[in-house]
Amino acid sequence: MQTIKEITVALKAATKQEPWMKAIQYDERAGVQKAWQQFLKRMDKQQLLQQTHDAKIAFDAQFGQLVAGVDEAGRGPLAGPVVTAAVILPENCQALLGLNDSKQLTKEARARMSILVKEHALSYSIHFQSAQMIDTLNIYEATKQSMASSVLALKMKPNFVIADAMTLPITVPQQSIIKGDAKSLAIAAASILAKTARDDYMEELAKEFPQYGFGQHAGYGTKQHLEALAKYGPTIHHRVSFEPIKSMMKG
């Protein structure tokens, strides 16, 4: 008879139910049953992950082939650029199993997924829209133009574009998708690239301006950031059209 430890190790290594597991279901040892329940729970989680992944691929497939997903990161912060990305994924994207809206993943998971997206995408591009352009155009228009730029920068021309809650000034057929990063694998991939690129940029900015804490809040209006603004004033990377910076500049 196998020991509890041997069975536990075997179950942890298994990726699907196999014939040898039938006997485990009738093994009355508590340790074996605990390992079995953990295995079943892991299989249920894996099945749900696969179903979600397949649904996102099917969502993108309805728009045909060579579909570019587009998303942004950084519309709300008081400092730094808004960053957009466009991604065209291949039909077979099993390597991106677990890819989700960037807000739903940890920083480590986003970094890992960013690498995978860049490895497997047929084409991708990332565009940075500066604080100065945001102040000149307004955040909505600056984001829209940045998204269009990210699409135009793709080395492979898409047949269709799906953007997260935005209609773009482009000639390619498109559709605006509300909460697109939760429905589309291509948009989710774009959200990952935009978010990781912006976070990396803000961490570099933190080295130049350590007193603002950009590495912690990425330019958002946290208490730490507002206190630094009150003490040191805005930098060239702050959005002077955003409050409270707008009022500070008038004062």
Q: What is the CATH number of the domain that holds 192?
A: 3.30.420.10
Instruction: Please tell me the distance from the alpha carbon of residue 110 to that of residue 112, in angstroms, as a whole number.
Output: 5
Q: Please give the model's pTM, rounded to 2 decimal places.
A: 0.90
Query: Domain tally for the chain?
Result: 2
Q: What is the pLDDT of residue 251?
A: 61
Q: What is the pLDDT of residue 87?
A: 98
Kindly give the confidence (pLDDT) of every residue in the chain, 251 residues in length, as a single tens digit, with 9 standing for 90 and above.
Answer: 789 999 999 999 998 999 999 999 889 999 999 999 999 999 999 999 999 999 999 999 999 999 999 999 999 999 999 999 999 999 989 999 998 877 888 899 999 999 999 999 999 999 999 999 999 999 999 999 999 999 999 999 999 999 999 999 999 999 999 999 999 999 999 999 999 999 999 999 999 999 999 999 999 999 999 999 999 999 999 999 999 999 988 76
* Closest C-alpha to 29, from 67, 56, 2: 2
> Which ranges of the chain does DSSP label H, i.e. alpha helix?
4-13, 30-61, 107-120, 131-137, 139-152, 180-183, 185-208, 214-217, 223-232, 245-250
How far is CA 203 from each of CA 97, 187, 208, rounded to the nearest angstrom?
28, 24, 9
Q: Is 148 part of a structural domain of the chain?
A: yes
Same domain, 116 and 16: no
Q: What is the pLDDT of residue 239?
A: 98
Q: Is 10 part of a structural domain of the chain?
A: yes
Same domain, 76 and 192: yes
What is the extent of the structural domain holding 21? 4-61
Q: Is 231 part of a structural domain of the chain?
A: no
